[in-house]
Amino acid sequence: MKISRRVFLATGTAMAAVTAGQLGKVRRSVAQGPTILVQNPKDVLNLYSARHYDTDQSLYDSFTQKTGIKVNLVEAKADALLERIKSEGANSPADVFITVDAGRLWRATQDDIFLPINSPTLTAAVPANLRDAEGRWYGLSKRARVIMYNKDKVNPSELSSYEELTGSQWKGRIAVRSSSNIYNQSLVGSLISAYGDQKTEEWVRGFVANFARPPEGNDRAQIRAAAAGVSDLAIANTYYLPRFAKSNDPAEREVFEKVGVFFPNQRDRGTHVNISGGGVLKTAPNQEGAVKFLEHLVSPEAQEIFAKGNSEYPVVANVPLDPIVESFGQFKEDQLSASVFGAKNAEALKVMDRGGWK
């Protein structure tokens, strides 16, 4: 089996290369030095990815096995990768850029890095609301942003929608990340699309008034807060919760047992769904291989890896889910285009700031 190599970027430090066999919880450099990204052979694909999941290696291995094209992976935060792509310009070795959240994909389109592609395979596989209308990027996996609740303190019959979280009954009972978190910006962007700035700002003020504590930590921290009784509710992406169930730590598994999942807005527009997605770079040395790679990522085989490897929802219909995710039940999704709420991230942040969401 051909092995991909990873390059990890960090501000102010040199790049370090790590072979797939050496990846563990601690990522470290090896003596060989940095991976050299070859510019144009058709048997090499250079991937810049802001996804940080080791399970994604199976996606790359399956692509190599299918096509013979080796995947060189450069992994970093989205902003760092975008800055690198822009600084490399026409000489960039990158073929594909993948990131999480529609807001980041929208930012990438504003930087004009993507090549519009017309792939019948991608168009048929990815719903219209989960891809760019001009073919610049395509959603590859979905994550629902839901209400999670402490089973001992909340009856799910008390819950209904994001909007109802401003009610007085939730005073001091909600845990959520900061306004700087792009997942929250996209959620608020979807509310702006539904109600406009003024009503959304009013919602933000009521929502903030019900916080159990000032925002801190990541989605996992919000889930832990709900399980521990620091809050009764948490706003989080679905794929985080199964990680607790699959942990070797009994305390982590106990968190999973204490927390339930509620899909908001089932009586109207549906639950907010965000994406991880990617596109082919305009300067890609291997454009043909890059299109093949994206097409592979929406194949049933790859979609099942997204679903079972990282507990995400597939963008393709009729792909088996992770059993834990399947146990959350079926739900109605908000069909708002990811392009729309992604474009509203900056506007959403201003509304959140005015509403007191720090």
Mean pLDDT of the chain: 90
* 261-298: pLDDT as tens digits: 999 999 999 999 999 999 999 999 999 999 999 999 99
In order of their start, the domains of the chain are 5-142+274-321 (3.40.190.10), 144-271+327-354 (3.40.190.10)
User: Is the pLDDT reported for residue 24 higher than 60?
Assistant: no
pLDDT of residue 42: 84
pLDDT of residue 237: 98
* 78-128: pLDDT as tens digits: 999 999 999 999 999 999 999 999 999 999 999 999 999 999 999 999 999
Instruction: pLDDT band for 38, please (50, 70, 90 cuts).
Output: low
Q: Which range is least confidently modeled, 24-38, 157-171, 210-224, 286-300?
A: 24-38
Question: Which residue has better confidence, 11 or 234?
Answer: 234
Question: Against a cut of 0.85, is the pTM above it?
Answer: yes
pLDDT of residue 37: 53
pLDDT of residue 15: 35
Rounded to whole angstroms, how far apart are CA atoms 3 and 18?
11
Q: What is the dihedral of CA 347, 349, 351, 355, to 10 degrees?
A: 180
Q: Is 11 exposed, middle or buried (0-12, 13-18, 19+ CB in 10 A)?
A: exposed
Q: Which range is least confidently modeled, 22-26, 37-41, 89-93?
A: 22-26
Instruction: pLDDT band for 356, please (50, 70, 90 cuts).
Output: very high
pLDDT of residue 6: 52
User: Is the pLDDT reported for residue 147 higher than 60?
Assistant: yes
User: Is the pLDDT reported for residue 31 higher than 50?
Assistant: no
Q: Which range is least confidently modeled, 27-31, 81-85, 99-103, 325-329?
A: 27-31
The token duo for 66 is: 């299918």
Q: What is the dihedral of CA 23, 26, 27, 33, to 10 degrees?
A: -100
3-state secondary structure 34-95: CCCCCCCCCCEEEEEECCCCHHHHHHHHHHHHHHCCEEEEEECCHHHHHHHHHHHHHHCCCC
Q: pLDDT exceeding 70 applies to what percent of the chain?
A: 89
pLDDT of residue 296: 98
Task: Identify the three-state secondary structure at position 8.
Answer: strand
Interior CA angle at 261 toward 260 and 265, to 5°? 140
The token duo for 149 is: 């609740």
Instruction: pLDDT band for 186, please (50, 70, 90 cuts).
Output: very high
Instruction: pLDDT band for 328, please (50, 70, 90 cuts).
Output: very high
Q: pLDDT exceeding 90 applies to what percent of the chain?
A: 88
Question: Which residue has better confidence, 42 or 4?
Answer: 42
